[in-house]
A = this chain, B = another copy of it.
Amino acid sequence: MRRIVVGFLGCGNIGCGVWKLLKEFDADLLHRSGVQFDIKRILVRDVHKKRDQMVPQELLTTDPAQVTDDPEIEMVLEFMGGETPATEYMLRALEMGKTVVTANKMALALNWHLLQAAAEKHGSGLYYEAAVCGAIPIIRTTIDSLMSNRIETMMGIVNGTTNYILTRMSQEGGEYADVLRDAQRLGLAEPDPTSDVEGFDAAYKLSILSSLAFHARVPFSVIYRQGISQVDAVDIGYGKELGYTMKLLAIAKRDGNVIDARVHPTFIPNDHPLASVNGSFNAIFLHGHACDDMMLFGRGAGSAPTASAVVGDMLYAASRETPRHPTFNNTDALAEGLQVTDNWQCSFYIRLNASDRPGVMAHITTCLGNEGISIRNLVQRDAVDGCAQIVMITHNAGECAVRKALAAMASDDVRVESMIRVEGK
């Protein structure tokens, strides 16, 4: 039996989940791995706050050094969330030679280069399966199982809140604001939902995932980001009619040294594996040159599923004699030699409001034709008040060409209502 003394940084929802899993499952963990984890100290903001689990009062402290600097503590688990002071505390723990296991995508995505440098300099281990998509083993899969692949595409539903909202909008035909309010009432969306609904959370995760997948640093700052707050229920409805489901996707593609990295509402065909990932579930779909298509589906958040990943990392770290570090030069800038394009290629869903007059359709199609864009599907509804709704899906085209065409067709007779990227075909 090997005893590993552990300290927590933070003890909210995830911390309590880890406490519970370690305590209730300790005999099994010991039996399976030969390791016993002893929790010695827990950093909290308020030692008197009531907690879910029976965490003993005497373990709590408000002094981070009691966790990061205690020579007996070998492993530090970070559950504070947010960029600061979590980053500073993790840096300190790594500098003290401790293994750090974190569930903090924001601190990791923004300061990974600093954390990694400290880990390498001091021979410490840094583990972060829980930081991306909860229980889903996408980090381990990418760095272990898929090491023999050139990953060309990664597309994920990596935020449960937005997937819950879009699923309900799609199933019930509800409006964004109403469903969001409901999600907030149910505790599935934060009182300030910005990080989720504007795609920040997804972009942090995409930065981490795409860096690992491409073996080259893709910083948060280069990721294009568009949230779901402007999504119109009308478009979800038209998409449905045409056989598409709307999801907020985090997409990374690589073609030679050129990459896309973007988060935006996306239509995918109903028969795509990601289309049936509903509610607060997460999933990552990827394509590698050897493995072909693959998808990992599961709980991307929640106390127990996140704890599953944290304790998985703890056992993994305990089983290794030397820590493993990423294969790439981890800087705060885009990897040298890589280029990020904002002219990605995909299909586009376009909804127009057009005057019901001769020549208007010719104007629209001419604007598309001038940019080399061809139409795959087109639906025109009966005109109401002299205006027709035109919905179309293009063949593969470049983002820049589509933007140019839409700018050219906008006029007194044509209003561009929405443009949504279509992936997965």
Interface of A with B (CB < 8 Å)? 21, 25, 28-29, 31-33, 129, 135-137, 140-141, 144-150, 215, 271, 273, 276-278, 281, 288-299, 302, 304-305, 307-309, 311-312, 314-316, 319-322, 324, 327
Partner of A141, one of B140, B281, B288, B305: B140
Whether the Cβ atoms of B290 and A146 lie closer than 8 Å is no
> What's the minimum C-beta distance from A82 to chain B, rounded to whole angstroms?
25
Whether the Cβ atoms of B298 and A295 lie closer than 8 Å is yes
Point out the residues of chain B lying under 8 angstroms from A288, CB to CB: 135, 308
Using A135-B291, A135-B292, A141-B140 as known contacts, say yes or no to A327 and B148 having CB atoms under 8 A apart: no
25 pairs, CB–CB < 8 Å, chain A vs chain B: A31-B215, A32-B215, A33-B327, A135-B291, A137-B137, A137-B141, A137-B146, A144-B315, A145-B316, A146-B312, A147-B311, A148-B308, A148-B315, A273-B276, A273-B277, A281-B293, A290-B305, A290-B308, A291-B304, A291-B308, A292-B298, A292-B299, A294-B298, A296-B297, A321-B322
Which residue on chain B has the smallest CB distance to residue A31?
A: B327
Whether the Cβ atoms of B298 and A293 lie closer than 8 Å is yes
6 A-B pairs with least C-beta separation: A148-B311, A137-B145, A135-B291, A294-B298, A290-B308, A291-B308
Whether the Cβ atoms of A148 and B29 lie closer than 8 Å is yes
Point out the residues of chain B lying under 8 angstroms from A277, CB to CB: 273
Using A145-B312, A148-B308, A150-B28 as known contacts, say yes or no to A295 and B297 having CB atoms under 8 A apart: yes
- Give me 5 other A-B pairs in contact (C-beta within 8 A), A147-B311, A293-B297 excluded: A33-B147, A140-B140, A141-B141, A145-B309, A292-B304
